[in-house]
Amino acid sequence: MNRRHQLDPNRIPEHVAIIMDGNGRWASGRGLPRYRGHHEGLTAAKRTVKGARDIGVRVLSLFTFSTENWKRAEEEVSFLMNLITSHLRREYDFYRDNSVRVLHSGDIDGLPVNLQTEIASVTADTAHHDGILVNLAINYGGRDEIVRSIARLTRRDGTDSQIDADTVRAHLDLPDLPDPDLVIRTGGEYRLSNFLLWQCAYSELYFTDVLWPDFGVDDLIDAIVDYQRRERRFGAVPCAT
């Protein structure tokens, strides 16, 4: 039963970021090869994008492949690169039908050339869509993004430039996106795993034991309902009543 009626429509988080964890464990628990979990994870991602759009979330960031994931077995990494490339190519109808604008964050130069081409194509071809913004974090690491931001800043302005929080932010991968209001991690782990470290300074964190391939719209709603119960203070002390 859909629990959307539990949501306060006036307090929907503008930006939700998700660490999609548990694909491999989902497959192993069913006696299946790990790649089956990654396939199911794509289905969960599409389901979540559509659910977030229907709820009224404006930006959805999905941690798709981290800078640390290169340490996995070569066969699995190769499979993931091919899966992401083919998925981007074949989902244009989904992007159009759901007014999805696709963005990318991460070190694109470190990706295979064919995947770089697909990312460039899908971001250009969906740039006019006015629905939900979906940020695919591919070859992404929070520390790496900060290092690349500072490198861009110093190359542009010179090493003697004043560096403060505003100038660093201006050189992040997607500086115009609002910081995540809510970060969801599936799979029962309790860490950020180097995801959006700069942007998540005051994000609300929500952890669930649900493995990513099983994550559904009701799970997303549960996370947002939990978020709506919280008082966000951003380091300030609430006024006494």
This prediction's pTM: 0.93
Average pLDDT over residues 98-119: 97
- Give residue 59's pLDDT: 98
- Give residue 48's pLDDT: 98
In whole angstroms, what is the distance from residue 96 CA to residue 191 CA?
A: 34
Q: State pLDDT tens for residues 173-212.
A: 999 999 999 999 999 999 999 999 999 999 999 999 999 9
* Percent of residues, the chain, with pLDDT higher than 70: 95
Q: Does residue 133 form part of some domain?
A: yes
Q: Does residue 1 form part of some domain?
A: no
At 240, the pLDDT band (50, 70, 90 cuts) reads: low
Structural domain of 115? 12-228
Q: Does residue 235 form part of some domain?
A: no
- Out of 30-39, 201-210, 230-239, pick the least confident: 230-239
- Which tokens sit at 147? 């290092």
The residues carrying an active-site annotation are 21, 69
Residue tagged 């300074």 (tokens): 201
Domain count, the chain: 1
At 163, the pLDDT band (50, 70, 90 cuts) reads: confident
Q: Is the per-residue pLDDT at 241 higher than 70?
A: no
In whole angstroms, what is the distance from residue 146 CA to residue 165 CA?
A: 11
94: domain CATH number is: 3.40.1180.10
Q: State pLDDT tens for residues 47-97.
A: 999 999 999 999 999 999 999 999 999 999 999 999 999 999 899 999 999
Helix (H, G, I), strand (E, B) or coil at 16: strand
Q: Does residue 239 form part of some domain?
A: no
Q: Does residue 88 form part of some domain?
A: yes
Q: Does residue 215 form part of some domain?
A: yes
In whole angstroms, what is the distance from residue 103 CA to residue 153 CA?
A: 21
Computed over every residue of the chain, the mean pLDDT equals 93
Q: Does residue 3 form part of some domain?
A: no
In whole angstroms, what is the distance from residue 110 CA to residue 118 CA?
A: 14
> Residue 134: CA atoms inside 13 Å, Cβ hemisphere, count?
28
- Give residue 233's pLDDT: 82
In whole angstroms, what is the distance from residue 185 CA to residue 17 CA?
A: 9
Q: Does residue 241 form part of some domain?
A: no
